[in-house]
Amino acid sequence: MPFGWGDAEQSYDKVYNNDNFDQDKNESSFGHEVVAGGAAFAGFKAFEDHQRKEGKVVNHQFAKELLAGFAGAEVDKLAETKGEDWFDKEKAKRQAKDNAEQLYDDHYVQGQGADQYDPNQYGRHERIERRDW
pLDDT tens column, 53-79: 999 999 999 999 999 999 999 999 988
Distance in angstroms (rounded) separating the CA atoms of residues 122 and 63:
14
Nearest to 14 by CA among 5, 25, 4, 3: 25
pLDDT at 73: 95
Model confidence, pTM: 0.83
Does position 23 have pLDDT exceeding 90, yes or no? no
Average pLDDT of the chain is: 86
pLDDT at 89: 85
pLDDT tens column, 107-121: 999 999 999 999 999
Q: What are the extents of the domains in the chain?
A: 5-129
Asked if 8 and 41 count as a contact pair (C-beta separation under 8 A), the reply is: yes
